[in-house]
Amino acid sequence: MARIDLNVPFAQKDDAKRLGARWDGDRKVWYVPDGVNPGAFGRWLPALPDINVRASNYFIAQSETHCWKCRELTQVFGFILPSGHEALEPDDEEDDRDVWYRHDEPTILNYVTELLPAVANRIKTMTRHYRVDFSKTTGSSYWMNHCEACGMKQGDFELFCEPDGAFFPMDEQAASQIVLQTFSEPFGGCADTSYGDHLFDSMRRT
């Protein structure tokens, strides 16, 4: 289970510490470590979005594509979760109940509708062209790429679901054009997941 960051006022830090919270000096935040029941920290829990995927760390993937509107080359971004991430899925034994299921292979996310605030802030520091917008095609809003030249929306289907799309490489050469930046911090979001041979090992790490 991914750790949970807390909103602890300075005056209450000793109370949080006594309950088992730990201090992350790099990020300047108190958090609930793995294995500790978060129930005791209710007064400090942040308001979180509904999520169906989570992980203790994640990648932001960067590639490029030609804008379908102006044909200029533009940078595009996405999220990849490593093996060991968890996804909320229907319980095989109880149809009306979802359970967290651990996956032993990576997944690339698409149609991301929710992100933990820390993750949203992280992607915002990398680009202003990946943001929430409304899609007439899906009739919904999600985090999507926009052309750096003309500002046109770049839909997730073409980038993530079409073979030879920016994030759907069909050979090792194409996969090597995708650059992965690793973030050793919790990920949480609501998104579609995609499994299969996406040639993750051939993508470049920074």
Select the more confidently predicted residue: 197 or 128: 128
> Assign residue 62 a region: left if phi > 0, alpha if psi is -120 to 50, beta otherwise?
beta
Q: Are residues 99 and 18 in the same domain?
A: no
Query: Residue type at 91?
Result: D
Q: Are residues 22 and 100 in the same domain?
A: no
Q: Alpha carbon 83 to chain centroid distance?
A: 14
Q: Are residues 25 and 57 in the same domain?
A: no
What is the pTM for the complete model shown?
Answer: 0.77
Residue 75 has pLDDT above 70, yes or no: yes
Number of domains composing the chain: 2
- Cβ neighbours of residue 18 closer than 8 Å, sequence gap 6 or more: none
Strand partners, 115: 189
pLDDT digits (tens, 9 = 90+) for 6-42: 889 999 999 999 999 999 988 788 999 888 887 788 8
pLDDT digits (tens, 9 = 90+) for 101-149: 999 999 999 999 999 988 998 999 999 999 999 999 999 999 999 999 9
DSSP single-letter state for residue 9: -
Tally the C-alpha atoms within 13 A of residue 166's C-alpha that lie toward its C-beta: 24
What CA–CA distance (Å, rounded) separates 79 from 108?
Answer: 6
Q: Are residues 36 and 135 in the same domain?
A: no
Q: Are residues 14 and 80 in the same domain?
A: no
Query: Residue type at 55?
Result: A
Dihedral sign for Cα 5, 11, 15, 17, please: positive
Q: Are residues 98 and 188 in the same domain?
A: yes
Domain of 20? 4-44
What CA–CA distance (Å, rounded) separates 33 from 21?
Answer: 7
Query: Residue type at 37?
Result: N
Supply the pLDDT for residue 4: 80
Q: Are residues 85 and 109 in the same domain?
A: yes
Q: Are residues 88 and 120 in the same domain?
A: yes
Supply the pLDDT for residue 3: 66
Q: Are residues 14 and 108 in the same domain?
A: no
Q: Are residues 161 and 84 in the same domain?
A: yes
Q: Are residues 65 and 150 in the same domain?
A: yes
Neighbour order of strands in the sheet with 4-6: 4-6, 29-32, 22-24
Q: Are residues 34 and 124 in the same domain?
A: no
Supply the pLDDT for residue 165: 96
